Structure 1
Amino acid sequence: MNYLAHAWLSFNDEGILMGNMLSDFVKGRQRYTYSEEVQKGITLHRAIDEFTDAHVLTASAKQVFRPSLGLYAGAFTDIAYDHFLAKDASENSEEGWRSFTDGTYSALKRYAEAHPVPERFARMLHYMKAENWLFNYRHRWCIENSFRGMTYRAKFLEESNTIAAYAAFENNYEHLQQCYQEFFPLLKAFAWEQYLYLCKKTEF
């Protein structure tokens, strides 16, 4: 669910970006219907997810949401991480983020118009661009909306879970921010190393 992080950790490579953003919508051998560049992005996305899910700092952040969300805590932690990334001036300025997110929408739209993409991805992209999720993650109201949207889509969550999850986000804001601040540089270094490996692998 951390769409901004996956876009940012595509390192301005459009093929990688497409795979990174499509990955959750591509199952099994469907990945082999995409170009080699997009497949690399899918591989990078899954490596990022594995690294994130296994890290002790993410485990600490998940504990904030686990009482109200159970097994869905990880998805809500991802959204919280995107909030702090969107506000992270050490990664980009506010105007820089605006330019980056506009460019991301344009690249995704160009690809979706020229290639078949999963229907669920196309539907998600429409709402992502229309509501400007990637830039608006910096705002707490957008995080609350994102939590509500996740609750509607999740089979075993209800409106009460949204209220509890957002209260947990607000009440533990500093702790979640600290987890992000310690974790994201480690994730970025890992993703860059994986990106370089994937690029090098295709040279032989």
Structure 2
Amino acid sequence: MNYIAHIHIGSHTQTNLLGNFLGDFVKGSHLQHLPFEIEQGIRLHRSIDVFTDSHPLIIELRQCFPSNIRRMAGVIIDIYFDYLLMQSWKRYSDTHFNIVFANFYQQLEQFSLPDNAHFNKQAERLKTQQWLNQYVNVESCFRAFTSIEHRLRNKVMFADQAQSFLLLNGDKLESSFQQFYPECLDHGQRFVQDYSLNNNREK
């Protein structure tokens, strides 16, 4: 799942929004130096990623992609699912996404990882541009594909073909998303319950 889904899952499970976002930036398994709520969010993020990557619906979707861009299918699905979540937000949340994002941006303002250049660069973009709500428009997905394509060290020209594939197969991806996402939310809820029961670290 991508940024918006992880933030939404944080809101849904009433865990730290920033912690759920940080799973893409903090490496390693030793997280006890971080505040409890941040550690919990990171571990939830990682559990969601494992659940997603191994889910039969997601595996099936990846196989539908043309062979020459299939290596990027996971990235494409993650980003497009953020768009689909924004389109159906009211189905999965009673809190408007602008309020959830405002809470996330506030948490982001109060946190730093001084030695993590990747996080700091992305955090600065998020704080100054606040572009998360732009994913209500599918064009944001297409711009993201182009941006990623330009940043890849081993050049993979996938953005144009990904856009064409999604325009032709959007209904299939939406159907898969609407089947998958409730299961993903249930998994997140179970993870948080188990984590709270099994983790004795003082909050």
Quote the residue 1:118 is aligned against: 116
Of the candidates 131, 141, 144, which is equivalent to residue 142 of structure 2?
A: 144
**C-alpha distance in 1 between matches for 2:184 and 2:55:** 10
How far is the alpha carbon of 1:32 from its aligned partner?
Answer: 3.8
Q: Deviations over 1:87-120 (max 9, x none)?
A: 1131247x811221122112122223xx646221
Cα RMSD, aligned residues only: 2.4
The separation in 2 between residues aligned to 1:173 and 1:81, in whole angstroms, is 10
CA contact (8 A) 1:64 1:168 kept: no
Matched, 1:134 2:132: yes
What amino acid sits opposite 1:123 in the alignment? K
Separation of aligned partners in 1, 2:184 and 2:33: 28
SS in 2 for 1:111: coil
Aligned pairs for 1:1-204 within 5 A = 2-11=2-11, 16-29=16-29, 31-88=31-88, 89-92=90-93, 96-112=96-112, 116=114, 118-158=116-156, 160-203=157-200
What is the total number of aligned residue pairs between the two structures?
200
User: Identity of counterpart residues, as a percentage?
Assistant: 25
**Bigger helix fraction:** 1
> Is the Cα–Cα contact under 8 Å of residues 6 and 20 in structure 1 kept in the other structure?
yes
The answer to whether the Cα contact below 8 Å between 2:109 and 2:127 also exists between their aligned partners in 1 is no
**Which amino acid in 2 is paired with 1:139?**
N
Q: CA deviation at 1:138?
A: 1.5
Q: Secondary structure at the match of 1:33?
A: coil
The alpha carbon displacement at 1:133 in A equals: 3.4
| Higher mean C-alpha deviation, range 50-59 or range 116-125 | 116-125
Answer whether contact 1:3 1:21 (CA < 8 A) is retained: yes
TM-score, normalized by length of structure 2?
0.86
Long gaps (5+) in structure 1: none
- Regions of 4+ moved over 4 Å: 12-15
**Structure 2: where are the runs of 5+ without partners?**
none
